[in-house]
A and B are shown apart, each in its own frame.
Chain A
Amino acid sequence: MSRKPNIKKSRAKKGGLSSLAGLKDKAIKAAILMGPKKTLIYSSLLAVSLGALLYWQFLSPMISAKDQLGTELQRLHKQNAIARMMQETRPQFLEEFRRVITNYSTARELLPAEAEVSNVMAAIQDLAHRNNVRVTVFDASKPGVKSASTASTQPSASNQPSDVSNQQPTTTQQVALNERRIPAQIVGTHAGVASFIRDIAQYPRIIYVTDITISALNKAETVNMTLVTYDAPSAGLLPPIPVELQQEFQKAQNARANTK
């Protein structure tokens, strides 16, 4: 039973081969009859047609695919070139980063640490005493809050005219300073009050006076004000610095700690 299909297949194969051979013989006979020149012309036309068909069918898509690959390669090449160019600015960036970190380290000394806030408050009391003004109100009971002015770079809601050029660029994440607002009232002569305020202005740590109201009564002046000071953020809250600079600043911090 299984032989019949095989026999049919072999017959069909033989038939196909014999028809091919016959076709070939016919073609050669026709070519001999036509002569080499005509055969060459017809064969060239046939070959060109066949070649064009094959080219259109197979090679054109292949070439298109290759061109697409080439375009993709160019895109990647360009993208990588941009990325490399960007990376080439990294040394300058690191240098700038180093400078900012150094400046910050210097500026950070202007802020008292959290443990030092009480010392600052004592110093204010001392300044008042030295300037012969009396501190009638000194409310340091309010807990520290994140500074509204430093927690965000959004312009404040004050009624001052908005100055766009003074706004900092908005960033999604900021390290906030811990603000301590201390309502206070002092009473003293005008000279004493002015001297006290001058001393506050010249105090080595950052502390400033805001929301001040000076009322004159007889020869005395009553000054209601809010003293504002800030805690330095702890090292854990600070953003990480690049790996290239970590070792360098670690050494600097260690050296500073040893000096202290």
Chain B
Amino acid sequence: MKRLLFRREQRVEESPCGLAFDEEKGEAVIAEYASDGGFEIHRVPADERRAVNINASDVRTCVLGWNAHTSLARLPVTAESTDEEILRSIIEAANTDPNAAAFNFTYSRTPDRLLTLTQAETADIADTLRKANAWLDTQRATHLKQEDRARIRLETRTRCNMRLWLSSGVDVDTCNTAFLTVGAGGYAMGLWSPHSGYIYETEERFERGASLEMIAAHTRDVLIKFIAPSSLAQLGLDFVGRVVVSAVPALEDQLFQVLREAPELHHALIEGIRLNYSTDRATEGDELDYATTLALGALIETELPSPVDLSVAPQEQLEQFSESHKIIEVARVQKIARKARLAMAAPVIVIVAFLATTWFQNRAEALRISSNIEAEKQTAAQLKQATEDYESSKKNFGMFRSLLDNLISLRQRQPATHQLLRDLDTRWPRDASWYVAEVNVKGTNVEIKGRTRNEQAITAFAKTLEFSDGLFTNILTNNNVAGTSLAGTSATATPQSSNVIEFTVRANYSPMKTPGQVGTTATEASAATMPTTPAPAPSSAAPSQIVAPQPPFANGANTKPMNGTQR
């Protein structure tokens, strides 16, 4: 699992290295970028196995032969043409030229939109690659896989020197610059223009057996011709103000002397290549040697002159471009398809996400509510039981209360009869002929029968009952002269021959109400207290039932009042 997670799909980008061979010393010079931003230069014996630990997959070096050439391209394409068009044009041109089979071609664009064509012999390229690979194999650890061989990029010497010089911070003035690279086997010359950049390059092999003096003189002569105004005019240049020289140590001093002594070159500044021109301390003593210059120039990469790789044939470059374009096209189509899929899927995903979120929210809410309902139902069942108990207790409470009210009303009813007698005693009229024969009490109905000679006494008695603050209600009187019959009338009878008037007074005495009918408000009342008399609503019929006062009877001789009831 760990291996799957942390497996590297791509190789880690490694730092490139520049490689050059110092034939005089039999050393290999390796240039690498240092961690502090500078460079690291290593010199190791070229034939020593495992002299340096070099694992770079990108090795850059120069073509060893002296046949490289760069000039303005004479092709039916321009710098604005696509890479494929230029490469096809080169391939077509090479196919028409029978000598072109021995060369490999590449191209580059100048800042002023010109197209330059660089060529090198395929045999030199193959030799260079063979030598570099052989050296790398001797340095490679034996446990490494053979297929992990480094990719070797090939440049020309003049390009390498020009790139190093341009990137060393030199004050580039407006004049054109010529580059002279002199090795043990030949020389290379190039022209650089501030306006057009790198526009021309040529190399030539020295004849075998030539002495150093001859080589230096020949080189001087060729350089003089190279930067002569007539030659420069063919390239569209007018003047060369600086000559940058890089030569093998055996030739270096002599070459500089010869060049500086040449009157045709007096107008030009002749100098070597230093790593940092902007440092004041940098002097001629700090100039880089021939092999180091090539190694550093191969290592660094600048926009101008643009990097080229002579190890790759135009056909291969075209295939690479085609492959790249195919990949790019596929990627573009995939990108469009991805966008289309995204455009198709995004709203669906949004809607689905919304629906899913809503669904889950509602479901969660419904589950929560359901659980709450269950809990509430359980609580409701418990509360129902408690409520039923409560209701039952309330009924029991009502029964107790009713019982208590009944007891209280019974107690209140207890003195009612005695109270009736007392109330009647206080209301008997003060009439000597007043005689009560019978008192009848049924429930609250009180019936008093008696005799009197004074009819007004009956009326007065009825009145006292009437104004008893509600104790007596529904007062009805019936009187008639003794010996006569008066049926069904309650009107005042006219005195007849007899003076005795028999009367019957009927009334309701409220304290005599049946026990248990007293209001519950009397629960706190003491049993010894008098019964509360309910305030009766004044009956509209009652006054009419009261017998009108009659004239008093003077004779009360035959009356026999009830003991204690006559006043």
Question: What residues of chain A have their CB less than 8 Å away from a CB belonging to chain B?
Answer: 27-28, 31-32, 34, 36-37, 39-40, 43-44, 46-48, 50-51, 54-55, 58-59, 62-63, 65-66, 69-70, 72-73, 76-77, 79-80, 83-84, 86-87, 90, 93, 96-97, 100-101, 103-104, 107-108, 110-111, 147, 149-150, 153, 155-156, 158-161, 163, 165-169, 171, 173-175, 177, 189-191, 194, 197-198, 200-203, 206-216, 219, 221, 225, 230, 233, 238-242
Do the beta carbons of A97 and B474 come within 8 Å of each other?
no
Supply 20 A–B pairs (Cβ within 8 Å), ascending by A: A28-B337, A39-B340, A46-B347, A51-B351, A54-B355, A59-B362, A66-B362, A73-B372, A86-B390, A87-B386, A104-B407, A150-B515, A150-B516, A156-B443, A174-B403, A190-B565, A212-B441, A213-B439, A216-B565, A242-B389
How far, in whole Å, are A161 and B191 apart by their CA atoms in the complex?
144
Do the beta carbons of A202 and B415 come within 8 Å of each other?
yes
Starting from the known contacts A168-B519, A171-B402, A174-B399, 20 additional A-B residue pairs (CB-CB under 8 Å) come to A28-B344, A50-B348, A51-B351, A59-B358, A84-B383, A147-B516, A150-B403, A158-B445, A158-B514, A159-B443, A168-B402, A168-B517, A174-B403, A175-B402, A177-B407, A198-B418, A212-B439, A213-B440, A214-B438, A239-B400
Q: In this assembly, does B336 line the interface, its C-beta being within 8 Å of a C-beta of chain A? A: yes
Q: In this assembly, does B55 line the interface, its C-beta being within 8 Å of a C-beta of chain A? A: no
Which chain A residue has the least Cβ–Cβ distance from B373? Answer: A73
CB B205 to nearest CB in A, in angstroms, measures 58
Do the beta carbons of B417 and A149 come within 8 Å of each other?
no
CB B184 to nearest CB in A, in angstroms, measures 62
How far, in whole Å, are A158 and B509 apart by their CA atoms in the complex?
13
Residues of A near B508 (CB, < 8 A) are 160-161
Chain B 389-421 per-residue mask, 1 if CB under 8 angstroms from chain A, else 0: 110011111111111111110110111111101
Selected from A103, A216, A241, the residue in CB contact (under 8 A) with B396 is A241
Do the beta carbons of A211 and B441 come within 8 Å of each other?
yes
Selected from A65, A166, A189, the residue in CB contact (under 8 A) with B518 is A166
Do the beta carbons of A175 and B403 come within 8 Å of each other?
yes
- Known contacts A43-B348, A197-B421; A104 and B437 CB within 8 A of each other: no
Q: In this assembly, does B134 line the interface, its C-beta being within 8 Å of a C-beta of chain A? A: no
How far, in whole Å, are A41 and B415 apart by their CA atoms in the complex?
101
Q: In this assembly, does B491 line the interface, its C-beta being within 8 Å of a C-beta of chain A? A: no
Do the beta carbons of B383 and A166 come within 8 Å of each other?
no
Do the beta carbons of A215 and B438 come within 8 Å of each other?
yes
- Known contacts A51-B354, A160-B513, A239-B395; A153 and B380 CB within 8 A of each other: no
Please provide the 9 A-B residue pairs with the shortest distance between their CB atoms, ordered closest to farther. Answer: A190-B564, A31-B340, A149-B516, A201-B415, A51-B351, A239-B396, A47-B347, A83-B383, A216-B562
Selected from B369, B377, B397, B516, the residue in CB contact (under 8 A) with A66 is B369
Q: In this assembly, does B328 line the interface, its C-beta being within 8 Å of a C-beta of chain A? A: no
Which chain B residue has the least Cβ–Cβ distance from A62? Answer: B362
How far, in whole Å, are A198 and B415 apart by their CA atoms in the complex?
7
Q: In this assembly, does B346 line the interface, its C-beta being within 8 Å of a C-beta of chain A? A: yes
Which chain A residue has the least Cβ–Cβ distance from B439? Answer: A214
Dominant secondary structure of chain B at its interface with chain A: helix
Question: What residues of chain B have their CB less than 8 Å away from a CB belonging to chain A?
Answer: 333, 336-337, 339-348, 350-352, 354-355, 358-359, 362-363, 365-366, 369-370, 372-373, 376-377, 379-380, 383-384, 386-387, 389-390, 393-408, 410-411, 413-419, 421, 436-445, 473-474, 508, 512-520, 523, 527, 534, 536, 539, 560, 562-565
Residues of A near B346 (CB, < 8 A) are 40, 43
How far, in whole Å, are A221 and B561 apart by their CA atoms in the complex?
12
Do the beta carbons of B401 and A100 come within 8 Å of each other?
yes
How far, in whole Å, are A182 and B509 apart by their CA atoms in the complex?
22
- Known contacts A83-B387, A212-B439; A36 and B340 CB within 8 A of each other: yes
Residues of B near A79 (CB, < 8 A) are 380
Do the beta carbons of B366 and A213 come within 8 Å of each other?
no
Do the beta carbons of A208 and B369 come within 8 Å of each other?
no
Do the beta carbons of A108 and B407 come within 8 Å of each other?
yes
Which chain A residue has the least Cβ–Cβ distance from B416? Answer: A208
How far, in whole Å, are A79 and B85 apart by their CA atoms in the complex?
89
Residues of A near B399 (CB, < 8 A) are 171, 173-175, 239
Selected from B384, B400, B442, B513, the residue in CB contact (under 8 A) with A104 is B400
Do the beta carbons of A216 and B438 come within 8 Å of each other?
yes
Do the beta carbons of B395 and A208 come within 8 Å of each other?
no
Which chain B residue has the least Cβ–Cβ distance from A191? Answer: B564
Which chain B residue has the least Cβ–Cβ distance from A51? Answer: B351
Selected from A169, A174, A209, the residue in CB contact (under 8 A) with B417 is A209
CB A181 to nearest CB in B, in angstroms, measures 12
